[in-house]
Amino acid sequence: MESYADLVAADDVLLFVNAAITATGQREFHSGAGEQTLSLDFLHAYMLGNYRDLYAGVLALDINDHNVVTIVRRLLETAGEATAGQRHREGRLIAARLAKLPPQRVYGLFDALRRARVNNRRTRAVVRDWLAARPDLAFDAVKYRGALKRALRHAHLLPAGEELGDFLFAPSSRTHYATPLLDTWRRAHHEKAALYDLPYTVAEGFAARHGVPRAVFLERVAPRMTRLEALRVQESARRHGAAEVRADLSRMPLTRLASYVLS
């Protein structure tokens, strides 16, 4: 028979999971961003303090990215309070969930840990293992250059290979890179044509540096855009006459599509 304490715990966990699925700490119709952030912070602190194992276990559920990052950050911040068994289980949950997050979210998490000066052995291992599992660190080095550099420094890690290290920390030391994407980035500093072979967010900076008209840039870089990038710049592209930039709304996640329609 369930005790009263079990019923309270079940109710607490249900409340937290519901919030972790839906709440993002942003302004919504019924509440402002500040109010929601305070409520979420309280729930996270309460769950971590009273039900650490269940709190970590929520990472295995289909909660939103905002709360995944918050749970991982809080678990790593309080690693010293966990037992060896808890650290082992949490490590597996963290690794599995970070592998599913968009890379910009994970790099944002690493930046948050750096700002909070969380640099324990467990945190360094999480950063090391996640970077080791990345399918293309050269792509990360180009698209998330600053974030990758900060993550390596914070975790006291060496870049994977001398060329990548030079690219990140001494880019002018080489006149050529064997990795095509890295060399494309180098050439884009003085060749306009090269910038169109870079990720959109990186190419955008080079286009501004070279004085490329916005409409021309958007037309030519459109094939390199992700579906969300195309969605974000679609209206701007239309105003500039760049008809090639069209977001395929049929492939958008429902929440993203609803946000676009209501904005």
For residue range 114-123, what is the model confidence (pLDDT) as tens digits? 999 999 999 9
Give me the percent of the chain exceeding a pLDDT of 90.
60
Dihedral sign for Cα 199, 202, 207, 208, please.
positive
Q: 182, 181, 150, 143: which is closest to 166 by C-alpha? A: 182
Q: Is 226 helix (H, G, I), strand (E, B) or coil?
A: coil
Structure tokens at 108: 């944002």
**Has residue 260 got a pLDDT over 80?**
no
What mean pLDDT comes out for the span 240-246? 63
Q: Which residues contact 59 (CB under 8 A, 6 or more apart)?
A: 68, 71, 72, 93, 94, 96, 97
Task: Compute the distance between CA of residue 129 and CA of residue 26 in angstroms, rounded to an integer.
Answer: 31
**Has residue 27 got a pLDDT over 70?**
no
Structure tokens at 111: 């930046």
> Binning pLDDT at 50, 70 and 90, where does residue 79 land?
very high
pTM here is 0.84
Task: Compute the distance between CA of residue 239 and CA of residue 146 in angstroms, rounded to an integer.
Answer: 31
Task: Compute the distance between CA of residue 128 and CA of residue 126 in angstroms, rounded to an integer.
Answer: 5
**Has residue 68 got a pLDDT over 90?**
yes
pLDDT, residue 35, reads 56
Question: 8-22, 24-38, 43-57: which has the minimum mean pLDDT?
Answer: 24-38
pLDDT digits (tens, 9 = 90+) for 189-239: 999 999 999 999 999 999 999 999 988 888 888 888 887 777 777 766 666
Helices 200-210, 214-221: axis angle to 10 degrees equals 150
